[in-house]
Chains A and B, each alone.
Chain A
Amino acid sequence: MSAFRFDMSDSLPEEYLEFAASLSGLSIDPSYRREVLRHFARLLALRTLMLEFPLPEQVEPAPIFHA
């Protein structure tokens, strides 16, 4: 599970941030970067809570279509 942990001292997220932003056509102004990184770190921590929870395989978010 440690693979999901993210250490703020690690420089990887900032590189990821730049790359992922460019993939999505976003440019993150240097004056926003610190706050964006802080929020991204928070979201990654929440993501860890999701990924480390052992959900049964059959659980699915099923959309229901009606006639």
Chain B
Amino acid sequence: MRFPLSAVAISSAIHRREIRARDVVADTLERLGTGDTILNCFTTVVTELAFADADAIDRAIDSGRDPGPLAGVPFAVKNLYSVAGFPTLAGAKINKGKPPAVRDAAAIRSLKAAGAILVGMLNMDEYAFGWTTENSHYGGTRNPRDPTRTPGGSSGASAAAVAAGFVPLALGSDTNGSIRLPAAFCGVFGLKPTFGRVSRSGTVLLASSLDHVGPIAGCVLDLATAYDVLQGWDPDDPVSSSTDVDPTVPGIGRDVKNLRVAVVAEEFGDAVPEAWSAVETIAITLDTRQRIRLPETDRARAAAALITASEAAAFHLEDLQRRPGDFDPLTRDRLLASALLPATAYIQAQRFRAWYRSEILRLFHDIDVLVTPTAPCLPPVLGPSGVDAATRLRLGPFTQPFSLIGLPAISLPVKTSSPLPLGVQLVAAPFRERVLLDLAAHLEMNGLLMSSSSSPPEQATHSSTEWLCDQGPI
């Protein structure tokens, strides 16, 4: 049996009683059981839990109850999310021996409460301190669009699992670009919400003052549906925002005519020509000629790197003292160097961040959305010792400045003539995720994006939002 590819299509077929959650889970586990051997996305598959949750969904449907907007939708999480009954790996060997978590992470609880079914945990760079999902303990993950290349990182397996069609939905985390970069490299959709908009409770942090969590999906409506379920205040996350939730699914994509869109000037950063032409494609479609220069971008990148380094080193100091040999060499040497930085570097970076934030927010008085490339290059090739060492640390120049100041940002897979995926990043003012998702839906409806459906149905109407995602043969 071939099930629909998108989360909303699975959920609606389950609501219509056309398919059963147990069958969707069985199909999912079968596909990833055979397909994941080469890609190495999953570090744990929770077969029994998934079937138990599927049966609960099927029982709810049988008794006439609504399991929620993600009924029966299989999802997987980066392994820094706590799952009750399992140690939370965060990509580290050190965590393997820790006691199992007693409770699911808040974001997992939200998705499950909406009917989604957790099927497993996904690979990552150790402690999320990397861009390539290379991992000395658990092996590296490969890019499903071209397995000789990296999927990006650190949520590389989250993006790869969606791109490979194992799950329609995955959760990642983003400190400097770790949701957006792999989404771009794998040709899927990734949303980094506003800082504090989605609870990080129950996740292993990399750099507390920069960490965000968010969804990765194969089409806009799946991403928006997941985001709506995830957004909201949580007293268990000290940086959680009490700003009112703003559902994005109702009317998504309808109201984009008055949006003021600008493209970042090319001096923002060096990128391969394909990356800029993908941006140009979007600019032409949206008929925008406005180019915006951002101030002090290199310093913004430096500030983000220094804050990440200092906070991560402080967090891991005890293990660095006691068992440095148990770290992944790819993260260990950077964490050790970071632990020795004088505090003035960190404090000045935090002060710079406050200055930069006010400068960039001023620009958003005159625009609603800023368009940039997501990545500076196509997915790098995995050589005999992985991604080239110099490239490994230079993958985030376009994502880093915006996570530094907590702005919501989305990476969209743009259709181009390139055989490899290319991502375009849209950025908005704080708590304006709705604008990003509206514009993304508009671009998808116009056939510009590589969605889990290659093109929207001909009779796209605004009476329903279902045109946005693949309905799939059932």
Interface bits B295-309 vs A (CB < 8 Å: 1, else 0): 010110011011001
Chain A nearest CB, measured from B4 CB (Å):
44
Nearest residue (CB) in B for A48 is B302
CA separation between A24 and B303, bound complex, in Å?
A: 23
Interface bits B370-392 vs A (CB < 8 Å: 1, else 0): 00000000000000000000000
Nearest residue (CB) in A for B349 is A50
Q: Determine the chain B residues whose CB is within 8 A of the CB of A61 once the complex forms.
A: 347, 350-351, 353-354
Nearest residue (CB) in B for A49 is B302
Number of chain A interface residues as a range: 20 to 34
Chain A nearest CB, measured from B471 CB (Å):
45
Would A43 and B352 count as touching, CB distance under 8 A?
A: no
CA separation between A37 and B340, bound complex, in Å?
A: 10
Q: Determine the chain A residues whose CB is within 8 A of the CB of B352 once the complex forms.
A: 50, 53, 55, 59
Would B296 and A26 count as touching, CB distance under 8 A?
A: no
Interface bits B336-365 vs A (CB < 8 Å: 1, else 0): 111111101101111111110000000000
Would B305 and A56 count as touching, CB distance under 8 A?
A: no
Give the one of A16, A37, A53 with max B CB within 10 A: A53
Would A51 and B348 count as touching, CB distance under 8 A?
A: yes
Would B336 and A56 count as touching, CB distance under 8 A?
A: no
CA separation between A33 and B325, bound complex, in Å?
A: 13
Q: Interface-forming stretch among B16-24, B87-95, B316-324?
A: B316-324
* B contact patch SS: helix
For window 7-49 of chain A, which residues contact chain B by CB distance below 8 Å?
A: 16-17, 20-21, 24-29, 32, 35-40, 42-43, 46-47, 49
B334 within 8 A of A: yes
Chain A nearest CB, measured from B243 CB (Å):
13
Given contacts A26-B339, A50-B349, contact A60 B296 (CB under 8 A): no
A1 within 8 A of B: no
A62 within 8 A of B: yes
Number of chain B interface residues as a range: 35 or more
B332 within 8 A of A: yes
Given contacts A50-B302, A61-B350, contact A29 B324 (CB under 8 A): yes
Q: Determine the chain A residues whose CB is within 8 A of the CB of B338 once the complex forms.
A: 39, 43
B287 within 8 A of A: no
B66 within 8 A of A: no
Chain A nearest CB, measured from B349 CB (Å):
5
Nearest residue (CB) in A for B350 is A61
Chain A nearest CB, measured from B369 CB (Å):
27
Q: Determine the chain A residues whose CB is within 8 A of the CB of B337 once the complex forms.
A: 36-37, 39-40, 42-43
Nearest residue (CB) in A for B317 is A24
Would A55 and B321 count as touching, CB distance under 8 A?
A: no
Q: Determine the chain B residues whose CB is within 8 A of the CB of A49 once the complex forms.
A: 298-299, 302
Would B336 and A25 count as touching, CB distance under 8 A?
A: no
CA separation between A37 and B299, bound complex, in Å?
A: 22
Starting from the known contacts A35-B329, A50-B348, 16 additional A-B residue pairs (CB-CB under 8 Å) come to A20-B340, A24-B339, A28-B336, A35-B333, A36-B336, A39-B336, A40-B337, A43-B306, A43-B341, A47-B344, A47-B348, A50-B345, A51-B348, A59-B355, A61-B347, A62-B354
B interface residues (Cβ-Cβ under 8 A, vs A): 296, 298-299, 302-303, 305-306, 309, 317, 320-321, 324-325, 329, 332-334, 336-342, 344-345, 347-355, 393
| 19 contacting pairs across A/B (C-beta < 8 A) | A25-B321, A27-B324, A29-B324, A29-B325, A32-B332, A32-B333, A32-B336, A35-B329, A36-B336, A37-B337, A40-B340, A46-B306, A47-B341, A47-B345, A56-B355, A59-B354, A60-B354, A61-B347, A62-B354
Top-9 shortest CB links A-B: A61-B350, A39-B337, A35-B333, A46-B302, A47-B345, A40-B337, A50-B348, A49-B302, A20-B340
